[in-house]
Amino acid sequence: MGLFKNLFKTVDKKQFPPLPQWRPNTPNDIDKITNTTKYYTGSKLQLAVFKFGTVVFLTIRVDNIEVEAKNILNQVYNFHADFNPRIMSEGNYLIEYRKPAFNIVFKEEIADNWDYIDKNHLQGVCTDEVLINGKGQHNVFDTVGKICLFGRAKMFMDAQDPVVVKTFDPLI
């Protein structure tokens, strides 16, 4: 029986949810994120912005925006964090998830931090994760893919330490 205890102690347990190593250290302009999100949504939806810039918007009116936003972010985090990029008309990138949440990577942010993003993007891939690009290649990223990994890494940071720093309610 002691042999089994020792064997189980040495088994490498997988982290769930899997996490990327990357923790981008670039600043987040929360007011700009909030104002841009309000523009994108026509100021018609309740929303919450987390400290690393992840936005959750609510498609059904709720009494407690913060509680519901944390619930949605937790759902993104605890299921596979698939993402889809959307290039906005002004050149910003919206990294969308399966639930009503996204990160905005501003065109100025990309220009100011491109070397950092380019150098570190592979750290944005989670342990044992395989991402397939439009050409069917595994874990090979073009410019858009690198930008998405940068934005998504911020979502993982928010999900691990979910602090809502700003909310918006169009009826208040």
pLDDT in tens, 43-94: 999 999 999 999 999 999 999 999 999 999 999 998 876 889 999 999 999 9
CA 121 to chain centre: 14
Tally of domains in the chain: 1
Residue 145 within any structural domain of the chain: yes
Residue 90 within any structural domain of the chain: yes
Residue 40 within any structural domain of the chain: yes
- Measured from the Cβ of residue 61, the count of other Cβ atoms closer than 10 Å reads 12
Sheet holding 84-87, edge to edge: 84-87, 93-96, 101-105, 55-58, 46-50, 164-168
Question: 11-25, 96-110, 117-131: lowest mean pLDDT where?
Answer: 11-25
Residue 14 within any structural domain of the chain: no
Q: For 50-65, what is the HEC assignment?
A: ECCCCEEEECCCCCCH
Residue 9 within any structural domain of the chain: no
Residue 2 within any structural domain of the chain: no
CB 105 within 8 A of CB 150: yes
**Domain extent at residue 157:** 20-166
Quick: pLDDT tens for 105-156: 999 999 999 999 999 999 999 988 888 878 888 888 999 999 999 999 999 9
